[in-house]
Structure 1
Amino acid sequence: MNSRAYVPTDTAWYLISLRPSGQHDGLRRAAARCGARTVAVSPWRLQARDDAATRDQLRLAQACDRLVFTSPAAAAAAARLMPLGQLQAGSLVAVGQGTARALRRRGAGVVAAPARMDSEGLLALPAMGDLHGKRVALVTAPGGRGMIAAQVQARGAQLLRVDVYERVPLQVPASLWSRLQALDAPSVLAVSSGEALERVLPQVPPALRRRWQQQPLVAASARLAEQATTLGFTRVQVAAGPLPGQLASAARNALFPPDAP
Structure 2
Amino acid sequence: MARLIQASGPLAGASVIVTRPAASAGSLRRRIRGLGGVPIGLPGSVLRAAPERAAVCAALIAARAAAVAVFVSPAAVKFAFAACPKLRFARATRICAVGVATARALSRRGLRDVVWPRTRQDSEGLLALPELRSLRGCRAVLIGAPGGRELLAQTLRNRRARLTRIDVYHRQAPRYSARQLAALEQAPAPLLLLASSAEALANLRAGIPLHLFARLAAGDVVVSSERLAARARAGLFANVHVAAGPAPAELLNAACAVLARHRL
Alignment CA distance shift 1:225-1:55 (3 Å): same
* Aligned-pair identity (%): 37
The letter for the 1-side match of 2:124 is E
Do residues 131 (structure 1) and 135 (structure 2) align? Answer: yes
- How far the C-alpha of 1:181 sits from its partner, in A, is 2.1
Q: Aligned match of 1:75 in 52, 55, 77?
A: 77
For this pair of structures, how many residues does the alignment match?
254
Contact 2:196 2:246 in 1 (8 A): yes
Q: CA deviation at 1:180?
A: 1.2
The separation in 1 between residues aligned to 2:92 and 2:192, in whole angstroms, is: 41
Offset at residue 153 of structure 1 (A): 0.9
Pairwise CA RMSD: 2.1
CA contact (8 A) 2:100 2:121 kept: yes
**Separation (CA, whole Å) in 2 of partners of 1:185 and 1:235:** 14
Q: Give, as a single letter, the amino acid of the residue that structure 1 aligns with 2:239.
A: R
Among residues 199, 211, 223, which one is paired with 2:203 in the alignment?
199
Pick from 106, 109, 114: which aligns with 1:106? Answer: 109
Structural mapping, 1:149-160, within 5 Å: 149-160=153-164
Aligned equivalents of 1:15, 1:134: Cα separation in 2: 44
Q: Which of 166, 170, 174 matches 1:166?
A: 170
Taking the aligned partners of 2:69 and 2:76, their CA distance within structure 1 comes to 11
The alpha carbon displacement at 1:6 in A equals 8.1
Q: Which runs of 4+ in 1 moved over 6 A?
A: none
Compute the TM-score of the two structures, normalised by the length of structure 2: 0.88
Which ranges in structure 1 are unaligned for 5 or more consecutive residues? Answer: none
Could you tell me whether the CA contact under 8 Å between 1:13 and 1:186 is conserved in 2?
A: yes
Q: 1:244 aligns with which of 245, 248, 251?
A: 248
Q: Which of 123, 128, 140 is matched with 2:144 structurally?
A: 140
CA distance in 1, matches of 2:222, 2:142: 28
User: Do structure 1's residue 96 and structure 2's residue 99 form an aligned pair?
Assistant: yes
Answer with 56-65 or 171-180: which moved more.
171-180
* Offset of residue 84 of structure 1: 4.4
Q: Which residue of 2 aligns with 1:27?
A: 28
- Compute the displacement of 1:242 (Å): 1.6
TM-score by length of 1: 0.89
Match of 2:215 among 202, 211, 217: 211
* Residues 48 and 6 of structure 1, relative CA distance in 2, 3 Å threshold: closer
Deviation for aligned residue 1:16: 0.2
Higher mean C-alpha displacement, 120-129 vs 230-239: 230-239
Q: 5+ unaligned residues in a row in structure 2: which ranges?
A: 1-7
> Is 1:44 equivalent to 2:53 in the alignment?
no
Select which of 55, 58, 62 maps to 1:56: 58
Partners of 2:62 and 2:75 lie apart in 1 by: 20
Give the SS at the match of 1:29. helix
